[in-house]
Structure 1
Amino acid sequence: MIQFDLQNKVVFVFDGDHQVGKEIIRLYTEAGAKILFLSRTAPEDESIFILKYKDGSSSNDIGPVNLENSSFLQGLPDLHQIDIIINNLETDTGKEIIDITPEEWENVMFINLDVPFQLIKMITPLMEKQNDGVIINVSSTSAIDGGNGDTAYAASKSALESMNKALSRELASSNIRVNAVSVGKYDTSDSIPLGRKVTASEIANIILMLTTPMASYMNGQTILLDGGKTLA
C-alpha cells in the first residue's frame, strides 16, 4: 500500500462515530495527521454535536458545537489551520413520502445539507487564508437512481452534489479542491457487478486518495463507488 505522510495536516471529519468515520480517522491518524471530529453524544437528538480532537493515540473533548458561532473552533489554542474537510454526515428516514412527517423531512435536510453547509461556511475563510485545502462530501447513488425510495434522503444527496459542484467553482481560485464520493448505500450484493457491497475501508481509502497530491488536478467531481452498478 502507498504510504502517505500527512504529518503537518489537520483533518476535520464531520462524523467520527459511525463505521466509515472511524475508519477515516484511523487512516488519517496512521498517516500522521491531527484530527478534529464531531461526535453525536445523544443519538436521540441528532442536532447535538461535540467537537473532539485526536493527535496520535490521545483524544480529548473540546466542547459542544455552536453552528451559529464559529468560536468553538478556537477551543484549541494551537489550531491555526484546517487542511482537509470530510463531510460524512448523514441520516435517513427509511420511509416513503406518504409516511414522512414534516419534522422528519426537516431533520434529514438539517443533517445532510444544512449542518455541512454551515460548517464549511465557517471553515472556508481559514482555507482561503491558507490558499490551500481539500473538501470531500460523501454522497449516495440515491441522488442518481432514488435508492430505495427514501425521498428525503435522495433529495438531500442530490442537493449536496449540486452544492459540491458550485463550491468547486467558487473556491478553486483559492486553491481549494472540492470533490464527492457517491456510495451505493442500498444496493444488494446480487445487483452489483462485483457481487458484494462496499466496505468502510474502501470508502475511507478513496477519500484519502482524493485528499492527497495524487489527485491534485481533480476538482468538482463525484466519484461513483458502487461496484459498477450505476454505470453513469
Structure 2
Amino acid sequence: MEWSTWLRMPMTVLLVLAALFALATLVQLVMVRQRLHGGRRFAASGRALLCLLFFALTVVLGGMGYALRGYRLLAQESPVVDIDARILSPQRWALTLSWPDGSTRQVQLAGDDWRVEAVVLKWKLPALLSGLPPLYRLDRLSGRYDDPEQEATAPRTVISFRPTDGFDLLSLKRSYPQWLPEVDTVFGSGAYLPLVDEGHYSVSLMRTGALVARPDEATAARIASPL
C-alpha cells in the first residue's frame, strides 16, 4: 500500500499517535520508578500524573483509531471502489471489488443492476471551520431489479461492509451522541448502474457526499446497446 493511501486513512494516524503516547507512558513509568528509588516522592507524583495522562491519551486515540477503521479522508473527489462484473446466469452475477488500497473481494449479486452506498461523516462547528476534511466509508452493495414488482418478490442480495463487531464511529454517534458532539452524520446518496457481462465500473465520492458511478467506454457501449 502506498504512503499516500495510508495517510488518507485516519485510523493509521490515530494508531501511530496512540503508539507514541504508549511509548511515552512507558518512559514515564521508568522515571517514576527511578524517582521512587531515589526517595523523591514529590517528583515521582508529578511523573505519575503525566503517566496517567499519556495512558489516557493512548486509550482514547487507540479507541478512536479502531472505531475509524475503514474510513478515509474525503478529498474533492475520492475513488471508493472499482467493480468488475461477470454473468453467471440470467440476473446472477459474479463481481470483483477492488479498493484504492489494493485489496479485493469476490461477491455474487442477484438483479439487473448493482447499487452501492457509502457513509459520510461531516463535522459541525468549530471543527468544520478548522478545515477538518469529511470522512467516508463504503457501507453496502446490493442488487437491484429493473421491474419494481420483481424487486418486491425476487431474491435480493445485500452485502454489508460495516465492521462485524459493531464498534464503529457511526454506531458510537448513534448510541452516545453526547460523546461526539462535533460529528454530523450524513449518508451519501446511493449510485447504481446496469450490469453487463465483462463490465467495468468506477465509483467515486464527491466532497458533498454524493456518490458518482461511471462505466468505462466499453461498458458504456454495452449498456447503450444491450444484446
Q: Scaled by the length of structure 1, what TM-score is found?
A: 0.26
Higher RCO by CA contacts (8 Å cutoff, separation 6 or greater): 2
